[in-house]
Amino acid sequence: MNALFTALEKLRLNIKLIVGFSVGLLVVEESGGIVLANPAGEKLFGYAAGELVGATLALIMPANVIADRQAGAVSSVAGLRKDGSEFPLMLSLSPLPARGNRGRCVSVAVRAAGPGA
């Protein structure tokens, strides 16, 4: 019972961290499907809570963005908001371990770049 409580407490803290993170955070499958988007990421691209989950990364940035960049490197790409406007975007990729039937995923930290960012 104590181990279960400890695991649940860790999960609660991880969720609180992801939701409260001021930088946009996305978790993306190898196929490009978005499996997680925190509130800062949703707001950055102009989407309401839950709208990005299940969509593909190509909806908000170039489809090849993960394949063309190295993990840990900060890159500049064009982001695309829900209203169709483009904006300069800085991103950093971090590989995540494979979990269940999802296979490998990548964590994508994003923030607006340039004037007014």
Where in the chain are the domains? Answer: 23-112
Q: Is 105 exposed, middle or buried (0-12, 13-18, 19+ CB in 10 A)?
A: buried
CATH number attached to the domain at 23-112: 3.30.450.20
pLDDT at 23: 87
pLDDT at 24: 92
pLDDT at 103: 77
pLDDT means over runs of 10, the chain (117 residues) = 66 56 85 91 95 94 73 83 94 84 84 73
pLDDT at 2: 75
pLDDT at 44: 95
- To the question of pTM greater than 0.75 for the whole model, the response is yes
